[in-house]
């Protein structure tokens, strides 16, 4: 069970990262290019939200199974969960704000800023992970 969830959580990061990058590119091009907010934009943002939340759920179960958390290693006990949940909150708020009002520029802007910040937090946390545990790499799989 632990090994399956660990692999799922490890691989799922790529889907989260790809969707976030895609959503941010769409939002930036919509915002700066003054484009309408399309159904396609809405779906990509929603999928990004769902994939981020799924990763959090897998992480939460893993939290109670991982020997690293059990061992009390600070990064795994506090920092990983804290930063990743913060990133998920940013994505949730960005998606919620993209639903408010009818100004397409404001919708694109909310996604670009909140998702962009979330991506930075996630990347920073994964980089921190590779520093705490040099056996792991940014583009690894376990
Ligand atoms: C967007 C959110 C998240 C991302 C992108 C993410 C990403 C990752 C990555 C890349 C790893 C290392 C996997 C490997 O070395 O192959 C990992 C491990 C881990 N994550 Fe997350 N994570 C997220 C959220 C969470 C949350 C919210 C929790 C806890 C509640 C969590 C708990 C864990 C644990 C316990 C491990 C270590 C598993 C082990 O090796 O024993 N993660 N995560």
Write out pLDDT tens, residues 72-117.
999 999 999 999 999 999 999 999 999 998 999 999 999 999 999 9
95 C-beta closer than 6 A to ligand 1: no
Choice from 10, 16, 20, 59 to test ligand 1 binding pocket (greatest atom count within 8 A of CB): 59
Residue-wise pLDDT tens digits, 26-46:
999 999 999 999 999 999 999
Q: Which residues contact 120 (CB under 8 A, 6 or more apart)?
A: none
54 C-beta closer than 6 A to ligand 1: no
The count of C-alpha atoms lying within 13 angstroms of the C-alpha of 18, restricted to the half-sphere facing its C-beta, is 6
Choice from 2, 53, 84 to test ligand 1 binding pocket (greatest atom count within 8 A of CB): 84
Q: Coil, strand, or helix at residue 140? A: coil
Interhelix angle for 39-63 vs 2-32, to 10°?
A: 150
80 CA → ligand 1 middle, Å: 7
39 CA → ligand 1 middle, Å: 31
Residue 140 clears pLDDT 90, i.e. is over it: no
The count of C-alpha atoms lying within 13 angstroms of the C-alpha of 66, restricted to the half-sphere facing its C-beta, is 20
């Amino acid at each position: 069970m632990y090994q399956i969830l660990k692999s799922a959580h490890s691989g799922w990061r790529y889907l989260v990262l790809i969707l976030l990058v895609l959503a941010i590119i769409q939002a930036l091009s919509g915002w700066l290019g003054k484009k309408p907010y399309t159904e396609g934009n809405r779906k990509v943002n929603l999928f990004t939200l769902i994939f981020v939340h799924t990763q959090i759920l897998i992480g939460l179960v893993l939290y109670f199974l991982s020997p690293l958390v059990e061992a009390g290693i600070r990064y795994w006990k506090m920092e990983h969960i804290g930063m990743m949940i913060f990133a998920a909150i940013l994505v949730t708020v960005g998606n919620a704000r993209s639903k408010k009002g009818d100004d397409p520029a404001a919708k694109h802007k909310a996604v670009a800023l909140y998702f962009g910040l979330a991506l930075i937090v996630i990347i920073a946390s994964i980089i921190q992970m590779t520093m705490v545990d040099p056996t792991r790499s940014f583009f690894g799989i376990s």
